[in-house]
Structure 1
């Protein structure tokens, strides 16, 4: 195997090899050392990342701002909450985050209809992820759902929510399928990671085996537009086949290649959609 070399055709040192590797990933590798410990700069960086992860979990959720941004997209929304009455309850009692409050059940029943899809925006374990990434993803996804001609329920903005809360929300709304956009557990390099969970025929008691998940949606991970195309493909296939979860494999790469075009500035943009009559509820 030939040696890696620098621009001067000199074999790379061990430190240079690690530096090259470190440039390819946000993972903490090749940090160096000072005696038997980390260098001070790396210790400070670790402390900052840990603080950012904690802040993401405890950042107050701002559902009114989310509702205003949804309205600007031409959609209606409704605010619901889980049975967890505080952030402390939510963190200590995961089961409370999986069931609705009585008031929210009544609100959802009043909005019940014949919907193809219910989109839920939930704080989860990172309100930071929602505040930064949920609306850009919805904006990228909306034209693709319009092309499919889907009937959308009012978007539910859910506080103190776990993933499974979407099952009960979808059942009360009468939706054939739910898309839960939720803040994922913060990592030390990604406090703003957004997860998207799709569940067909939602109802309480389902396990994660019944869901499809796309994770790490954020500018530093999976970008909004490719994520939207993946979600649109999965939604279309789930409604066609009547299932989600382990039996529905993500084979959307061909769809992404077909629906994304290279723009003159080097960025990826959606190809012009086929004309169709949207049936979105306002």
Structure 2
């Protein structure tokens, strides 16, 4: 499904206001050049998952002037999404996250070309989801690790840069996987591990600094068996800001990006910015210790 150059209904555009790309994104100029703005306009970004971070990503990138997206999600909004998800309003309860976020992105830029994947990312549509893409922005739920592994692997095979930003506490932990650098699998070391161990390794790998652990005041709110945990809207917005900045740098060639095994963790609550470096990824001795501490928590021990 595609929304190409589809304007919103006329009643939603007050009389006297006409969309113009150059004017709409004119306040970006200064931080980007007019020529760079046009390059952003032509770029295509794939976003899998349109919940907490994914919804914020598509709106942030739309306001940056990116005008082409491949987006995937099969879920609908529910009341428990209200605290953090950009498309969650009482008026959208029960509505498709995909359609709501498509509409919101088109409300920012009616000229956007948005390809929709209402089944989410599946084996049969993965190549279509990544077709024509300049960068993949990972926003999948924590508990769909098998799908995440497949997407990152296919990005590497197709030469597509892939990025992820995890909302942790009141901060964001960012990782970038270059098609020519350390791979997702080489970094996380998941192959052949039991499911719980894989998730422990993913959590440790995403957040080697674990800056958020000191202010979790209700530990029992984390329940791995029930697939739930606390979250904040601030973290999702910080993820989008960090991700949008790194996507801009990548698309415009604005200086080097540190790829895995480098990571970046910003915790606004503690006022800490931490660059992490884990040679060998989760095989690093520091990471092995961290994984051993996380495992019992996931098993309820």
Which of these two proteins has the greater Rg computed from alpha carbons?
1
Give the TM-score normalised by the residue count of structure 1: 0.32
Give the TM-score normalised by the residue count of structure 2: 0.30
